[in-house]
Amino acid sequence: MRRIITFGTFDVLHVGHVRILQRAKAHGDHLTVGLSSDELNFSKKGREPVYPYSSRYEILTSMRFVDNVFMEESLEEKRNYIIHHRADILVMGNDWEGKFDEFMDICQVVYLPRTPSISTTEIIEVIKDSH
């Protein structure tokens, strides 16, 4: 059994998110998602997520290719999360290319191409501009 792990905020779920999760799961048998806490998202992106953690959690756990979701509270804990969840492969979008190579000693690290022309930030901007 090959265990996959990925990380992200997955706020205002869009097709880019669906595809990365589906493609991550295709690398193995079990997919764990480290879902950023609201506080971690604020520290990374400088804004509150549109959907709070509890809603993002509910949406992700309802997806058929997601097997487990836990709260990612700190970027410094990433190594411990990978070990704790016994991940064989870490999958991330290629906006993170090279950023997680430090974990190659404990798991395989795979970067997948992002789906072009869509992001949560862009959706928020489009909705703001339409008002």
| List of residues contacting ligand CTP (CB under 6 A) | 8-10, 16-17, 20, 45, 92-93, 95, 114-115, 118-121
Least distance in Å: CB of 84 to ligand CTP?
20
Q: Minimum Å distance from CB 124 to ligand CTP?
A: 8
Q: How many CA atoms lie within 13 A of 10 on its CB side?
A: 30
Residue nearest to ligand CTP (CB): 93
CA distance 73 to 129: 32
**8 A C-beta contact, residue 10 and residue 59:** yes
Q: How far is the CB of 114 from ligand CTP (least distance, A)?
A: 4
By beta-carbon proximity to ligand CTP, the closer residue of 88 and 110 is 110
Q: Which two tokens stand for residue 73?
A: 């509270």
43 CB contacts (<8 Å, ≥6 apart)? Answer: none
